[in-house]
Amino acid sequence: MSVDSDRAPKSTTGLVVGGFAPPHSGHVYVIEFARHYADDLTIVVEERASQSIPLDVRLTWMRELFPASLVIAFDDCGNGPDSVKGDGYIDRLAYALEQRPDYVFCSETSGWKLAERLGSRFVAVDPERIVVPVHSIAIRQDPMSHWQYLPRCVRPYFLRRVCVFGPESTGKTTLTNRLAEHFNTIAVPEYARPYLDAQNCELSAEDIPMIARGHMASEDALARDANRVLFCDTDLITTTIWSDWLFGSCPQWIKEAADKRKYDLYLLLDVDVPWVADRQRYLPEERQSFLDRCVKELESRNRPFVKLSGDWDARFSSAVHAVEKMLAQTAHTAPIA
């Protein structure tokens, strides 16, 4: 049989199907392989009753990771992985695809059954897990231990967040940075400080929304680069307290945003350390009252917190212990939404 070398090959289509709960480096390799093998690739994100990560979250991840491919959702009516090759599944999938692909790409050898039923050719990609030596089951069971296999856009979902919280001049910034260094991760700086420095430390009620937006933007931007845990120098609850304290009110949307943004642990700093004045500190005589307000705000929201007292080294030691305990307790649990 001869081959007509002058005839251009027809455009080919490929298919990758999975739950991607969550997507990881193994998935990325399979899909990148498929993108370079076929001309057009469709990625099907399955919805199953057993998957704990919402479908819209997984779709967002996959569309960010593979913007050049068509990413669609497919509800398999709660069927588990052992039954997805059934005729009903194939008929629904074929209908969702509109056309049958030339190739089905998969790292599982069972993928050939899906390809056969679709009338496609099966292409196995790294079935022995040589290129990416990890299995989806292991990542689902303990994402923190397989952090290096999670794409940057996925990591914030599993990230543990610690807020260093409390009155002025209690060592929040120093402790935040010291903890980030100890746990080999990064810290979110207090956004208000450089913001106020840029306008000669003059603060008005109109600045509060700017500070709130800046802090949220900074935290969300840095979350992708954190290593399992992110340390935040204050949060939006702090912003609401200061707004109420200085101006008698706080914009409602900031209060609502403060309620929605969750942290796995608050480290509340006591006022049993000397006051150090600077241009951005306002309440040298009211630190205890401010601390009482901090406790009230945390308790009213049922936020987990540990109060740290003593000298700087004692606070750091207690903080490390509290964070390690939190990480151990949450290692195998779903993230806080």
Domain-embedded: residue 239: yes
**pLDDT tier at 202 (50, 70, 90 boundaries)?**
confident
Domain-embedded: residue 50: yes
Give percent of the chain above pLDDT 90: 74
| DSSP string of 75-112, one letter each residue | E-TT--TTSTTSHHHHHHHHHHHSS--SEEEESSTTHH
Instruction: Please return the burial class of 273, using the count of CB atoms within 10 Å of its CB with bins 0-12, 13-18 and 19+.
Output: middle
User: In CATH, what number is assigned to the domain containing residue 95?
Assistant: 3.40.50.620
Are 11 and 37 contacting, i.e. CB atoms less than 8 angstroms apart? no
**pLDDT tier at 89 (50, 70, 90 boundaries)?**
confident
Domain-embedded: residue 8: no
Question: Do 318 and 219 share a structural domain?
Answer: yes
Please say which residue of 99, 128, 149 terminates a domain: 149
Domain-embedded: residue 192: yes
Q: What is the pLDDT of residue 4?
A: 53
User: In CATH, what number is assigned to the domain containing residue 185?
Assistant: 3.40.50.300
Q: What is the pLDDT of residue 333?
A: 52
pTM assigned to the model: 0.87
* DSSP state for residue 121 in the 8-state scheme: E
Domain-embedded: residue 247: yes
Q: What is the pLDDT of residue 8?
A: 57
Q: How many domains does the chain have?
A: 2
Task: Give the containing element (helix H, strand E) for 164.
Answer: strand 160-165
Domain-embedded: residue 5: no
Please say which residue of 127, 149, 171 terminates a domain: 149
Q: What is the pLDDT of residue 308?
A: 97
pLDDT at 334 over 60: no
Question: Do 214 and 120 share a structural domain?
Answer: no
Question: Do 23 and 143 share a structural domain?
Answer: yes
User: Any idea which of 22-26, 106-110, 275-279 has the lowest mean pLDDT?
Assistant: 275-279
Domain-embedded: residue 337: no
Beta strands in 12-146 (DSSP E): 13-18, 40-47, 70-75, 103-106, 121-124
Q: What is the mean pLDDT of residues 226-254?
A: 96
Q: What is the pLDDT of residue 56?
A: 96
Question: Do 222 and 269 share a structural domain?
Answer: yes
User: Any idea which of 25-29, 166-170, 215-219, 246-250 has the lowest mean pLDDT?
Assistant: 166-170
Helix axes 252-260, 236-247, angle to 10 degrees: 150
Q: What is the mean pLDDT of residues 219-229?
A: 97
**pLDDT tier at 281 (50, 70, 90 boundaries)?**
low
Q: What is the pLDDT of residue 279?
A: 58
Question: Do 165 and 141 share a structural domain?
Answer: no
**Range of 101's domain?**
13-149
Question: Do 262 and 181 share a structural domain?
Answer: yes
Question: Do 165 and 45 share a structural domain?
Answer: no
Please say which residue of 131, 149, 167 terminates a domain: 149
Q: What is the pLDDT of residue 85?
A: 54
Question: Do 313 and 215 share a structural domain?
Answer: yes
The per-residue pLDDT for range 47-78, each reduced to its tens digit, is 987 788 999 999 999 999 999 999 999 986 54
The per-residue pLDDT for range 95-151, each reduced to its tens digit, is 888 789 999 999 988 889 899 989 999 999 999 999 999 999 999 999 999 999 999
pLDDT at 320 over 80: yes
CA–CA gap between residue 189 and residue 321 (Å, rounded)? 22
Question: Do 273 and 238 share a structural domain?
Answer: yes
Q: What is the mean pLDDT of residues 191-218?
A: 90
Question: Do 203 and 322 share a structural domain?
Answer: yes
Residue closest to 53 by CA, chosen among 18, 79, 21, 20: 21
Q: Which residue has the higher pLDDT, 282 or 90?
A: 90
Question: Do 179 and 325 share a structural domain?
Answer: yes
**pLDDT tier at 194 (50, 70, 90 boundaries)?**
confident
In terms of phi and psi (left: phi > 0; alpha: psi -120 to 50; beta: otherwise), the region of 106 is beta
Domain-embedded: residue 6: no
Question: Do 169 and 141 share a structural domain?
Answer: no
Q: What is the pLDDT of residue 251?
A: 97
